[in-house]
Chain A
Amino acid sequence: MQENPHRIPPTDEELVQLTLQEERRFRSLIERYETKLTRYIRRISSLSEDDVKDVLQETFIKVYRNLNEFDQTLKFSSWIYRIVHNETINVLRKANHFPRALHNEEDNEDIEQFAGTFDLEEEIFKKMEGEKVREAIASLEEKYRNVLILKFLEEKSYEEISDIIKRPIGTVGTLINRAKQQLREKLK
């Protein structure tokens, strides 16, 4: 039977309900998030390819096991990002592994846009190279680095970041402002 090309694909939240009825529907959720989450793990850590795969697999198993815990008033993406975020941080802490974030080649363009959001003087901005921004972000404290990555590279809203890192929205705003200030200082 041919699929109707005009059919609207189910939302993540609908897929959760479908997976609870039919295990095989989980495949769609995995396929939807595999690339995004892989990129996110790489952005917040410097784990090896094998470790990234392990974290990803463990994340999806946790998601599957806890599908009934998913709160429909949240966005599914926030929930899955929270799980992968915690899983990655746990692995890093267990291995006493200090992350050196943002080593993705694919992030180059994002990094430039990211730097542009800081209203730095043009002269300074011109002198900046992607690598410098990358290093400056990587040298930030984990809590500041994480919110910057979520806000400017993952393009999450304050509310989504609040749901991902489980901190109040006001705190997220404060963290982002402080992170920007620190980054400005480092880039000057």
Chain B
Amino acid sequence: MSLTDNIFAEIKEKHVTPTARWKFVLTNSALWIAGIFSVIAGTIGVSTLFHIVDDGDWDIYQYFDRTFLGHIFTVFPYFWLAVCVIFIFLTYYTIRNTKKGYRYTTHMIVLVGLLISIIAGSGFFILGVGEGVDELFSDNISLYTALPHQKKVIWNHPEHGLISGVIKEIKNDNEFILEDFSKNEWSVKESSTTWKGVGKRDVGSKIKLIGTKESDFVFIPQEIRPW
């Protein structure tokens, strides 16, 4: 039997038929959609990373007895850096596996992915998407709130003179009650305290305090910053 006869015999015996075109179109479209989703997710990751870096109080390293570099290494938002790297890799993988994805070099795909993520990520950051995502995660995912880059973690070190929370009650001109994010109530006694930024001494205001823990749940702030 010739090769042609063998092939036709196998086609007949195994009922081989051409796979429907829509299945290939669907697979290719799914890859492109996954690629676009990865770019968007990476962009959100970049904007959140930008927000955390921008919002970080990088000057407070001295209260932790760390060097500036040591502080950056400790509180850097590695989680969001990892999100960006994972989604850039996914973008590369999905685009590379599309029908003509092999025509683009790895450098080109990664570079274009990075550029789009940084440019669009900056736009998202300006629009407040990064801040929104960070808040959404910290309000809903308990594990996320324990990450070292989290403001609530950084500003929950009374022993280092750093606390934060919401003003619950104004006692008088020199004292108010602050409820921290672990639901502890602090009596805050002001004495030559500097209010920085647009921090308001109103009930419900979220603030960060630098000062000294005088005794259990009594705090004397030198500086108060808005949240």
Q: Give the interface of A toward B (CB within 8 A).
A: 20, 23, 26-27, 30-31, 34, 53, 56-57, 60-61, 64-69, 71, 162, 166-171
- With both chains docked as a complex, state the minimum distance between the C-beta of B158 and any C-beta of chain A, in angstroms: 58
Are B3 and A57 in touch, CB under 8 angstroms?
A: yes
Number of A-B contacts (CB under 8 A): 59
CB distance from A154 to the nearest CB of B (A): 19
Shortest distance from the beta carbon of B77 to any chain A beta carbon, whole Å = 34
Residues on B with beta carbons closer than 8 Å to the beta carbon of A34: 3-4
CB of B7 within 8 A of CB of A20, answer: no
Identify B18's interface contact among A66, A168, A170, CB under 8 A: A66
Tell me how far the C-beta of A187 lies from the nearest C-beta in chain B, rounded to whole angstroms.
Answer: 30
In the complex, which of the residues A60, A64, A68, A171 contacts B20, with contact meaning CB atoms closer than 8 Å?
A68
Taking the nearest CB of chain A, how far is it from the CB of B62, in angstroms? 51
CB distance from A81 to the nearest CB of B (A): 14
Quick one: given A57-B3, A61-B16, are A168 and B105 in contact (CB under 8 Å)? yes
**Please, which residues of chain A bring their CB within 8 A of the CB of B17?**
65
Contact with A along B98-112 (1 / 0, CB 8 A): 011011110010000
Contact of B4 with A27 in the complex, beta carbons under 8 Å: yes
Supply 8 A–B pairs (Cβ within 8 Å), ascending by A.
Answer: A20-B18, A26-B7, A57-B10, A60-B7, A61-B10, A64-B16, A71-B100, A166-B102
CA distance A31 to B20 in the complex (A): 25
Shortest distance in angstroms between B12's beta carbon and chain A's nearest beta carbon?
9
Among the listed A57, A170, A171, which residue makes an inter-chain contact with B7, where contact means beta carbons less than 8 Å apart?
Answer: A57
Contact across chains for A64 and B4 when beta carbons are under 8 A apart: no
A23 x B11 contact (CB < 8 A): yes
Chain B interface, number of residues (Cβ within 8 angstroms): 22
Cβ-closest chain B residue relative to A82: B102
What chain A residues lie within 8 Å of B8 (beta carbons)?
26-27
Query: Considering the chains assembled together, what is the distance between the CA atoms of A53 and B18 in angstroms?
Result: 22
Partner of A162, one of B6, B18, B19, B103: B103
Task: Known pairs A65-B16, A66-B18, A168-B102; list 10 more (Cβ under 8 Å).
Answer: A34-B3, A60-B3, A61-B11, A61-B16, A64-B11, A66-B19, A68-B18, A68-B23, A166-B102, A168-B104
B16 proximity list for chain A (CB < 8 A): 61, 64-65
In the complex, chain B residues whose CB is within 8 Å of the CB of A169: 103
List the 4 shortest-distance A-B pairs measured between CB atoms, nearest first. Answer: A166-B102, A68-B21, A67-B18, A69-B24
Would you call B6 and A57 a contact (CB within 8 A)? yes
Which of chain B's residues have a CB closer than 8 A to the CB of A60?
3, 7
Question: Whole-angstrom distance between the alpha carbons of A166 and B103 in the complex?
Answer: 7
Query: B51-63, CB under 8 A of A: which get 1 and which 0?
Result: 0000000000000
* Distance in Å: Cβ of A99 to nearest Cβ of chain B: 22
For A30, the closest partner residue in chain B by CB is B4
Q: Is the CB of A64 within 8 A of B18?
A: yes
Given contacts A27-B4, A66-B19, A68-B21, contact A168 B11 (CB under 8 A): no
